[in-house]
Structure formats: C-alpha cells, structure tokens
Chain A
Amino acid sequence: MDKYERYTTDDFLADDSFLHWVLQPTNEEERFWKEYLEEHPSKREAIEEARFICSVFQVRQKKLSLDETYEIWDGVLQSSGQLRSSRWISVLKYAAVFLLLFISGAVAYYIYDSRAQQTHFELATETGTTGTEAKIILSDGSEISLEKKESQINYNRAGDQLIVNDDTIRQDQLSGNEAINKVIIPYGKKSVIRLSDGTMVWLNAGSQLIYPSVFLRDKREVVLIGEAYFDVTENQSKPFIVRTSSLAVTVLGTKFDVSAYPEDQFVDAILESGSVSLEVTGKSFLNRNKKILLKPNQKGSLNRQDGMMNLSEVDVSQYISWKDGMLKVEREDLIRVLKKVERYYNIHIELRDPLAGGFLISGKLDLKQNPEEVLNVIQLTVPIDWAKKSNGDFIIVKK
C-alpha cells in the first residue's frame, strides 16, 4: 500500500518520517527512500523539491564549547546545592572579611577549580568504564558496538561519516554541527581512531575518548580517561588539547602518549617527537597556570596526590609499545607490569606475596599471545610461580 501515492511537496514536508529521513537519516530510511524513488520516478520532483525546501533552512547552529557546557552544568549543581564546596565558598567569603583575606581567596579558588574538574570528570565517566562492551556513542545517544578485539574507526573530513571496521555510518546531516562522540574501550580490547582532522589515536584497554566528530572551534579539544597514543596532524592555528582529570596537554602537531587511568596515582605524558606543553589543572593552586614544556624522549609525570610534576628522560618505545601489541619494560616493578597485563587482557591477577611486587623486570612481552604465555615469560626473569583459579583469576606467589 503506497501512502505516498497522492503526496505533493507540501504533504511530504508535513510527513514526520519523511522529515526524519531528510534531517537524521538512518541506514534503514536511506534504503527505503532510495528504493521508493526507483520504483516511483513520478514522485521524484515532489520529493526533491521538499528536500530542497528543507535544506534551505539548514544553517550552522550555535553550539556551546566543551568548557561552556561544563560551566553551565557546574552552575546547575552549585545552584541546586548538590556540591558541598559551594557552601564552603560562602562561609569563606565571610571569614575573609576578618582576617583571612588572601588565604580564603586562594582556598576558594582551589575549591572552585577542583569542582570544575570534578564535573569534567563526572560528565566524562557517566556511562561508565565498567562495562565489558567496546562501543562508540554518537551525539544522538545511539550506540554502535565494536565487536572486534582491535577495532578501527575512521572519520571523513566533514565528520559526518564514519567507518567503523568495515561499516559506514552517517551521522548529523546538519551542516556545521560539532557532534560529540565517545568511544569506550573496556579492558581486554583496544582501538585505533582516525579523527576528522587526520589525527590518529590509539586507545588502550580500559579507556574512553570524547571528541567532536569535526573540529569547528579554534581549539581541537578531546577528553581522555585512560591511556592513548596520539599522532596529531599539524595545524598551527588550531592547537590540539588532550584534557584529563588533572592535566591538560596542548600540542600543535606531534606524537605522544598520555596515560591517565583514574585508579593510577600518576598521570603520565610521554613525548616521542615535536613538542607539547603540560598544564596542571585544578588540584593545587600553586601549580596553576604553570606550563611545562616537554621535549622529545621526556616523560612528564604528575603526582595526583601532591600535585607535583616530575620530568625525566625515558626510552619512549617502552611506553608506546602497547599500540603494536608489545609490552616493553626496562627495570620496571613487577606490580606495575602486572597491572598493564591485567588491563590488556581484562583479567585479574592477585599477587599473594606483596614483596614480589618489587621485583624489577626488563624486556619485551608479546601481548598477542594468551596471558598464560605472558606469565610464563615473566616467570623466566623473576622467581615467581603462577596458577589459574577456577574463576579465571590468576594467582602469583613468590618461589
């Protein structure tokens, strides 16, 4: 039954499913209307006129920047009394009148800023890293699951089309739209994303990356939780900024690795080539606005607890070998190596003897093998023994 048989241009414009196809086509709708047009060539003119009239109205929409988006939400939480710190600020305001003018100002500033960070983080973790499914979430909220162990995501230059593994997905027909996308990779998987500006991002296990499908602002901003290796396309007029819960990394075009797992005490940025500047955000007001320039082969390591930044020369290959399925370590604690193995395979390793965690390991581990093989290799270098429990967890004991 063809309900469109007698439709005029106006009728098409008044039809909700037609409009949906024009504004936010799903693959199904594309197929339906393509077939329909082939079968009903006489309707072509009316449909195209309707499409044309719709397109006349499609213009660049006003969008909030990521910062503004967070600021407003921050204001919502503050005004509705969801944040304790807002009460503290008002108490401090009065205290300042008497004697603590300078300090209260500083403390209030500190609280304000850490709260902003908290919101940042809260918004970013919403859907949780705890799931076991790798997926990409589009700005309209729809999810595409990434079934492969190592998935590839490719954006075209306009950012309105992405290729996930081998499937092409269209999103956001409206021109000028900076749609925010999010990729979630659970432990045991990883992903390579090619952003619309050509920047390549290798996302490690247990990580999330939030980014606009196309960069329309004067800054290219992404939010990272976990670890990623970036090969940034050079663009002097649009700096690329990686925001994490306590560190912002600004670059113009370069290759580097950022590791910012929420459960780790340190946030690390490791530079392979080019130059990047690190800025501590929140936490300690003493560190605010302090920018540190990183040179190639340097690692900037921020201690989240005391807000101190430590620079050191490192062998970069150690830190980025994960993206090629290798784990290269040089005199590293067994406990840190095991943590990486756990993340990579999404397994749980229990270290029965805490002292064994201090063993230093050097060498290369091939993570393309199964975890048992990896533990066998580790066993060759340090005096440990391992066993697998019935629930799949591993136990390590000192020999």
Chain B
Amino acid sequence: MPRRPEKNDHELWVAFLKGDQQVLSLIYLRHVNALFDYGSKISADHDLVRDCIQDTFVTIIKNRKTLSPTDNVRLYLFKAFKRKLIRELQKKTRFLPFDPEKGERFEISFLRNFDHAEFEVTQEQKERLTEAVDTLTIRQREAIYLRFIRGMNYHDISVIMDLNYQSARALIHRAIGRLRETLHGESETFSRALLFIFRCCRA
C-alpha cells in the first residue's frame, strides 16, 4: 500500500514564505483543531480561543516577508498562539494583580469523561484515578497534555513552556511518578486489577 505523506509542514511553509498564500490554509486545516483543543484547556472562553487562532494566522500573513523558515511549524504555531492567548487573558485581568504562573489555568478533566474504548474501569477506580490526576500541578498538567495528547517531544515542550530541556523532562517524570505512586500506594491489588483489565482487553 503506497502511503506517503502529503507535502509536509516544512515544504508548505517554504512555499508560503515564497509567496504562495494558498498553502497557509492547508497548514491551518492541519493544526486548527489541535490549537483549539489546547486553547480550550487554558481558557473556557471559546470565542477568545477562536479569536486568538484567527489572530495567529493573520499575524503570519502580515509578517510573511519577515518570517524565517522553520522545520517545526507546529511548534511555531503553538508558541505564537499561546503567547497571544496569555496576553489576552492578562488584558482581561488588567486591574487585578496577574501572576502568569498562578493566573494561568490548565484544566484537563482527564478521567471525568473517561470513555476509552479499549477497556472499562469501575466508578471507584475512576474516582481514584481522577484524584491522582488532581494532585498534579498546573504546569505538570500542561506538560502531560503536550506530551501524551499532542505527542510532542521534550524539546518542543520546553520551548512552549519556557523551560529548559532537563526541566521539561523532570516535570513530566515527576508527574508520572506521582501518578504511579498514587496508583500503587492506594493498593497493590487495585493497580494490578487495572493492568489485568487492560491486558485482557488488549489481547
């Protein structure tokens, strides 16, 4: 089965920088839902998230001549979009002291609507997992999101979150550690049971 990637982001980006305006809509289509989902975790204001996506692409068109080639278009989009969204959120709370670290929210309702097709968990198991996820910090959640939902590598995560590579790695490592601790700590049988269910369903 011949299955080859369509023109990749990098090629499209180069074509866009050379003046082919059309190809930007392909880049847009490819990333818009990921940006929207990511934005929705940071702010519940969907109109604002939509506006920021729009602004991100408007800025790209306006600054086309001064943009540099990048081989990581997704990273560029996420970074630019996040910057805009955070700035807008800061504007909204202008009269309140805004601490970007604290003011930033990162809501992942991981297990609340846990409906993964591959295996089932009971209500009680679900609650324990939810509690475990709730113990994660906002930064940990964001890192986990970028890693395990967007599938990004540590370099990209560190750039988006303004961290160095080691810190990004450590952040995720600690988050996973905490999660596993909660799972194992609660009861050995519980985690075994989960794994057992998991294995049965995968078999």
Instruction: Please tell me if A123 contacts chain B, counting CB pairs below 8 Å.
Output: yes
Instruction: Please tell me if A314 contacts chain B, counting CB pairs below 8 Å.
Output: no
Collect the chain A residues with CB atoms within 8 Å of residue B177's CB: 10
A 10-51 contacts with B by CB, 8 A: 10, 13-14, 16, 19-20, 23-24, 27, 45, 48-49, 51
Q: List 30 A-B contacts (CB under 8 A).
A: A10-B173, A10-B176, A13-B176, A24-B151, A45-B195, A48-B195, A49-B195, A52-B194, A52-B195, A52-B198, A55-B198, A56-B179, A58-B116, A59-B110, A60-B115, A62-B33, A62-B37, A63-B33, A73-B57, A76-B54, A76-B61, A80-B61, A122-B25, A126-B26, A137-B6, A141-B8, A143-B6, A167-B1, A169-B1, A180-B29
Cα separation A49 to B6 with both chains bound (whole Å) = 34
Contact A79 B116 (CB under 8 A): no
Collect the chain B residues with CB atoms within 8 Å of residue A105's CB: none
A23, A48, A80, A122: which has the most chain B beta carbons within 10 Å? A80
Contact with B along A299-336 (1 / 0, CB 8 A): 00000000000000000000000000000000000000
Contact with A along B114-156 (1 / 0, CB 8 A): 1111110000000001000100000000001101110101100
Contact A123 B25 (CB under 8 A): yes
Task: Give A residues with C-beta under 8 Å from B.
Answer: 9-10, 13-14, 16, 19-20, 23-24, 27, 45, 48-49, 51-64, 68-69, 72-73, 75-76, 79-80, 82, 122-123, 126-127, 137, 140-145, 147, 158, 164, 167, 169, 174-176, 180
Cα separation A52 to B108 with both chains bound (whole Å) = 18
Contact B33 A126 (CB under 8 A): no
Contact A175 B117 (CB under 8 A): yes
Instruction: Please tell me if B68 contacts chain A, counting CB pairs below 8 Å.
Output: no
Question: Which of chain A's residues has its CB closest to B132's CB?
Answer: A56
Contact B5 A144 (CB under 8 A): no
Q: A52-B195, A56-B129, A158-B117 are in contact. Are A68 and B50 (CB under 8 A)?
A: yes
Collect the chain A residues with CB atoms within 8 Å of residue B144's CB: 57
Collect the chain B residues with CB atoms within 8 Å of residue A19's CB: 147-148, 151
Cα separation A58 to B29 with both chains bound (whole Å) = 22
Contact B5 A143 (CB under 8 A): yes
Collect the chain B residues with CB atoms within 8 Å of residue A27's CB: 1
B 167-201 contacts with A by CB, 8 A: 169, 172-173, 176-177, 179-180, 194-195, 198-199
Q: A48-B195, A63-B37, A80-B62 are in contact. Are A141 and B25 (CB under 8 A)?
A: no
Q: A16-B153, A167-B1 are in contact. Are A72 and B116 (CB under 8 A)?
A: no
Q: A24-B151, A62-B40 are in contact. Are A142 and B4 (CB under 8 A)?
A: yes
Question: Which of chain A's residues has its CB closest to B7's CB?
Answer: A141
Contact A62 B36 (CB under 8 A): yes
Question: Which of chain B's residues has its CB closest to A147's CB?
Answer: B2
Closest 10 CB pairs of A and B: A80-B61, A57-B148, A76-B57, A61-B37, A141-B6, A62-B40, A79-B58, A75-B54, A23-B151, A167-B1
- A126 in complex: contacting residue of B25, B37, B154, CB < 8 Å: B25
Give the A-B contact count at a CB cut-off of 8 A: 147
State the Cβ distance, A72 to closest chain B Cβ, in Å: 5
Contact B2 A61 (CB under 8 A): no
State the Cβ distance, A94 to closest chain B Cβ, in Å: 24
A55, A82, A169: which has the most chain B beta carbons within 10 Å? A55
Contact B1 A164 (CB under 8 A): yes
Collect the chain B residues with CB atoms within 8 Å of residue A75's CB: 54
Cα separation A321 to B113 with both chains bound (whole Å) = 47
Instruction: Please tell me if B21 contacts chain A, counting CB pairs below 8 Å.
Output: yes
Question: Which of chain B's residues has its CB closest to A168's CB?
Answer: B1
Cα separation A169 to B3 with both chains bound (whole Å) = 10
Contact B28 A73 (CB under 8 A): yes
A64, A123, A174: which has the most chain B beta carbons within 10 Å? A64
Instruction: Please tell me if B15 contacts chain A, counting CB pairs below 8 Å.
Output: no
Instruction: Please tell me if B18 contacts chain A, counting CB pairs below 8 Å.
Output: no
Cα separation A176 to B32 with both chains bound (whole Å) = 16
Cα separation A68 to B53 with both chains bound (whole Å) = 12
Collect the chain A residues with CB atoms within 8 Å of residue B7's CB: 141
Cα separation A72 to B50 with both chains bound (whole Å) = 7
- B32 in complex: contacting residue of A64, A140, A169, CB < 8 Å: A64
- A82 in complex: contacting residue of B21, B26, B32, B110, CB < 8 Å: B21
Cα separation A386 to B20 with both chains bound (whole Å) = 43
B 44-93 contacts with A by CB, 8 A: 50, 53-55, 57-58, 61-62
